[in-house]
Structure 1
Amino acid sequence: MHRLSTFLLFNVLACLGQNVQGSYIIHGKKAPANSMQYMVSLQNKWGHHVCGGFMVRGDIVVTAAHCAEERPVRVVLGTHKLSESYMSLDIEYFCKFPTYKSVGFGADIMLLKLSGKASLNYMVKTIPLPTSSNANLKDDQICSVAGWGQTGTNHFTVDDLRVVNVSILNPQLCREKWGAGFPSNVICAGGYNTDKGFCQGDSGGPLVCDGVAVGVVSFNNGKNCDYPDVPNVYTDISKYLEWINSIIKTNKCV
């Protein structure tokens, strides 16, 4: 949940990735027990949460490419409460999508290969990905996004996983609201014309629709958590399936 940043015009793309701390879910609620066991917390060498992510295999996590800038070294899994972590695994290596440059240029997706393979059980689970190169989402479809941390501008971070429902926005409307230079292969949900979504955080966490991880939290509009007048933006996982499946199959970056 980091590096969610201002994105208004193409010539300010260099500003993306700044002024982003913690993991924010705005106007959400505490995640129910025994739900979303696919969620993981990416943590740095000091044990601080820096981004979210989600399990797609016992040793592979999907997250946002810009989370690498926060230098995570391990993931915590199997818990909603970070102070009572179930287990952790070191990150063996990162696989960023090859064309990724920065948040504003898109392709903000990364896979993490873990040092060991977690046993899947009632506390640790995986989440399915789309099965085709089209997410087949409908305007106003209700999905959800979850993460750890602050719940508003300048709030303190929280220890418990929180979740909020968000609506899918029409892609053309999203592009019009963001303006020139808006990246391709993204999904917009929440943030615009609502008081719910993520804010300067939740990076790397999944946008979940009908039990499938369809998006990866990428960016929003600066530090405005009151709430922004532009949609929240997620990387569209369906557009990267071939790349993801190649890594899962070969156990190496491609």
Structure 2
Amino acid sequence: MYRFHPFLLFHLLTCLNNGQNALGSEIINGRNAPKNSMQFMASVQANTQHVCGGFLVSEDFVVTAAHCGKQNLTRVVLGTHNLTNVPDDAVIKIKQRFKHPLYKKPELGYDIMLLQLSEKARLDSKIVKKIQLPKSNNKIKNMGKCNVAGWGFTKTKGEAVDVLKVVDVPIINLDECKRKWKNVRSLPDNIICAGGSGTNKGFCKGDSGGPLVCNGMAVGVVSFNKYNCDYPNWPNIYTDISKHIAWIKDILKKKEL
């Protein structure tokens, strides 16, 4: 979570990290995540600098946003909520990156990437654990309480935080979401809209790639939003994981062979 400036048409947000650009997010009007919660969260880093969020889906794979690949990603940090206190055994190097083959830029969809780790994470229900993924083309309508988490700024042009923040966000009907965005741009179908419009809660800069979690399941990946994060007029946009389950399983299966 660093200094930011817009780089996409229509002022889609970017994150400036070590001179490189990446779309990002922060948690707005959230709270500190309780200790020993959200053990699936990952800090995706370039050297020792946090770049994006991510989440563990198998012992040796983390999911994040494809646009985070603009950075020189080198490692992930697992099992810690405070990035100022990272033990050596929480750090695992990134072995390989797998961007979705149809990804071009966030506003066109397919903003999802798998990071293969150089070694398997040591799973511990109190420290590090995987998160469940949805079934293919999962229906999002009745997902109940959802939240998003990250280590980014807590307001537009604010300051980054070191302790993981989490905030509850409502799911927004896709047709309604597209209507609200229609004067800005057309939205793809393989997304989920949650938070932002109609609430001052959601994401902004610094935590792209983090999960939208509903009923303990990762259903979305933080992708993009508009410039004003504090009181936005547009819903926040997430990649719909259920639309990409076959691709995810194919990558995981091939790497197990």
TM-score by length of 2: 0.89
Query: In the alignment, what sits opposite 1:50?
Result: 51
Over 3 Å counting, the alpha-carbon distance change for 1:184 and 1:5 in structure 2 is farther
Per the TM alignment, residue 38 of structure 1 is displaced from its structure 2 partner at its CA by 0.2
Equivalents in 1 of 2:179, 2:25: separation in Å? 27
Alignment of 1:1-254 (within 5 A): 12=9, 16=12, 18=14, 23-45=25-47, 47-86=48-87, 87-121=90-124, 122-131=126-135, 133-138=136-141, 141-179=144-182, 180-222=185-227, 224-251=228-255
TM-score, normalised to structure 1, is: 0.90
Q: Is the 8 A contact 1:189 1:231 kept in 2?
A: yes
In structure 1, C-alpha distance between the alignment counterparts of 2:58 and 2:142, rounded to whole Å: 30
Contact 2:13-2:205 within 8 A present in 1 as well: no
1:118, distance to aligned residue in structure 2 (A): 1.0
Aligned-pair CA distance for 1:76: 0.6
DSSP 3-state at the match of 1:242:
helix
Task: Give the ranges of 4+ consecutive aligned residues of structure 1 lying more than 4 Å apart after TM superposition.
Answer: 1-7, 19-23
Q: RMSD across aligned C-alpha pairs, in angstroms?
A: 2.2
- 1:82 is paired with a residue whose SS is coil
- CA displacement at 1:142 relative to structure 2: 2.5
Q: How many equivalent pairs are there?
A: 244
Which amino acid letter does the alignment assign opposite residue 91 of structure 2? S
Q: Higher mean Cα deviation, 133-142 or 61-70?
A: 133-142
Distance across 2 between alignment mates of 1:34 and 1:237: 25
Unpaired segments ≥5 residues, structure 2 = 18-23
Counterpart of 2:103 in 1: which secondary structure? Answer: coil
The residue type equivalent to 1:237 in the other structure is: I
**Could you say which residue in structure 1 is the equivalent of 2:20?**
none
1:130 and 1:214 in contact (8 A); partners too: yes
Mark the runs of 5 or more structure 1 residues left unpaired by the alignment.
Answer: none
The superposition leaves residues 2-51 of structure 1 with CA deviations (integer Å, 9 ceiling, x where unpaired) of: 999687xxxx37x6464567751000000011100000001112x11100
Letter of the 2:140 counterpart = L
The percentage of counterpart residues that share the same residue type is 53
